[in-house]
Amino acid sequence: MEKGIIFDRKEFAVFDGPGIRQTVFLKGCPLRCSWCHNPEGLCMQPQLMVSHASCTHCGRCAAVCTHEKCVACGACVPVCPLGLRKIAGEFLTSGELARRILADAGYYSRYGGITFSGGEPLMQADFLAEVLEMLPGLHKAVETSGYCEPDVFRRIVGLLDYVIMDIKLFDGEKHRRYTGADNRRILENAEYLCGGRKPFLIRIPVIPGVNDDEENFRSTAAFLAGAEALERVEFLPYHQTAGAKYGMLGLEYRPDFDADAGIRICRSVFSEYGIPTEVL
Ligand code: SF4
Ligand code: SF4
């Protein structure tokens, strides 16, 4: 049985696919988007998170720590009287995760389903595939960057009912600059969805000065035009609170763009191509 690592489970999610959903967040992502607001989803190891702002410096956490450098052992988590410390990341087998999901499955099978998000859930494709196969009768979706080998993408899509995928930037050079990776595989995987029958939704995180120009919207709309299984395009406006969790991980948030600038969302470009849109 495959082992995987998750960092959260969210109940009653209403923006992660059709109906009301349970969302499971898998840890690990091959991209490094400048605007990422879930930095605890990036690496595939457990990490200590601390809400420093409310710390009273009582010293209880330091008193129980036996390590020079944090190894995310979790020993200091229960001793904090204010509950300011937590470990993001839990290893478990596919069977254990499926059992937890199935414990609440009655509600979600009636009103929505289960969505796997991240991080990048397809980075743990073997683990994810085993979990998906253990959830018969549940509506299953992923939220993915689409950054993976096409055969991996097709295998996982074949086990799903619905796909939510990002197309962050159409221009390959800009994509590499702002996410750390080329977008060729992403566009190849998006093309597969466009040519198929699996219902899917495209999301565009709209980042000031990065991808909020008409050329980017127009290229993306032209690429998606005519895709029969495409439900709509959703825009996710950039929020200035995106950097909030970096400090909890001991990291600095240094976005490579003007995070204070306003954004432009050209919904009209997509309507020219007959594609419905929504701003979240
Ligand atoms: S999780 Fe806490 S106790 Fe464990 S190594 Fe890190 S700081 Fe020390
Ligand atoms: S135990 Fe909690 S309140 Fe006390 S020093 Fe550690 S983080 Fe701060």
With respect to residue 99, please indicate whether it lies within any of the assigned structural domains. Answer: yes
Note the pLDDT tens digit of each residue in 38-89: 999 999 999 999 999 999 999 999 999 999 999 999 999 999 999 999 999 9
- Helix/strand/coil for 159: coil
Asked whether the predicted pLDDT for residue 242 surpasses 80, the reply is: no
CATH number of the domain encompassing residue 95: 3.20.20.70
pLDDT at residue 263 above 80?
no
Does residue 76's CB lie within 6 angstroms of at least one atom of ligand 1? yes
Span 241-248, mean pLDDT?
83
55 in a structural domain: no
pLDDT for position 243: 78
Alpha-helix runs per DSSP H in 75-149: 94-103, 105-111, 125-133
Neighbours of 56 (CB within 10 A): 10
Once rounded to an integer, what is the mean pLDDT over residues 256-264?
A: 76
Q: Is residue 52 part of a domain?
A: no
Q: Does the structure show a pLDDT above 80 at 205?
A: yes
Specify the ligand 2 atom closest to the Cα of 56: 3
d(CA 185, CA 5): 24
- Flag whether pLDDT at 125 surpasses 90: yes
Q: Look at residue 255 in the predicted model and tell me its pLDDT.
A: 83
pLDDT level of residue 1 (50, 70, 90 thresholds)? very high
Q: Which of 221, 165, 151 is nearest to 193 (CA)?
A: 165
Amino acid in position 202: I
Pocket mutation for ligand 1, best pick of 40, 71, 77, 79 (most atoms within 8 Å of C-beta): 71
- The answer as to whether 32 is a domain residue is yes
pLDDT reported for residue 83: 97
Paired with 204 in beta bridges are 235
Q: Total structural domains in the chain?
A: 1
Band (pLDDT 50/70/90 cuts) for residue 259 is confident
- How confident is the model at residue 104, as a pLDDT? 83
- Whether 122 is in a domain gets the answer yes
Q: How confident is the model at residue 280 (pLDDT cuts 50, 70, 90)?
A: confident
Higher pLDDT, 140 or 106: 140
- Residue 132's domain spans which residues? 3-46+89-279
User: What is the reported pLDDT for 264?
Assistant: 80
Q: How confident is the model at residue 132 (pLDDT cuts 50, 70, 90)?
A: very high
Q: Is residue 84 part of a domain?
A: no
Q: Label residue 170 exposed, middle or buried (CB < 10 Å: 0-12, 13-18, 19+).
A: buried
CA 261 to chain centre: 24
Whole-number Å distance, alpha carbon 65 to ligand 1 midpoint, is 5
Q: Which backbone phi and psi does 196 adopt, to 5 degrees?
A: -110, -170
Task: Place 262 in a pLDDT band, splitting at 50, 70 and 90.
Answer: confident
Burial class (CB in 10 A: 0-12, 13-18, 19+), 131: buried
Residue whose CB lies within 8 A of the most ligand 1 atoms, among 65, 84, 249, for a mutation test: 65
> In sequence order, what DSSP letters do the residues of 28-75 get, joined into one string?
--S---TT-S-GGGTSSS-EEEE-GGG-----HHHHH---SS-----T
pLDDT digits (tens, 9 = 90+) for 163-176: 999 999 999 999 99
| Closest ligand 2 atom number to CA of residue 79 | 1
Instruction: Quickly count: other Cβ atoms within 10 Å of residue 130's Cβ.
Output: 20
48 lines ligand 1 (CB under 6 A): yes
88 CB near ligand 1 (under 6 Å): no
The verdict on residue 78 lying in a domain is no
Cis peptide before 262 (omega within 30 of 0): no
pTM, entire model: 0.92
**Nearest Cα to Cα of residue 208 among 175, 245, 255, 243:** 255
Point out the ligand nearest to the CA of residue 59.
2
Average pLDDT over the chain reads 94
Q: Do 120 and 147 form a contact (C-beta atoms < 8 A)?
A: yes
With cut-offs at 50, 70 and 90, classify the pLDDT of residue 244.
confident
Percent pLDDT > 90 in the chain is 84
Whether residue 128 is contained in a domain is answered as yes
Give residue 52's pLDDT.
92
Contact call for residues 143 and 236 (beta carbons, < 8 A): no
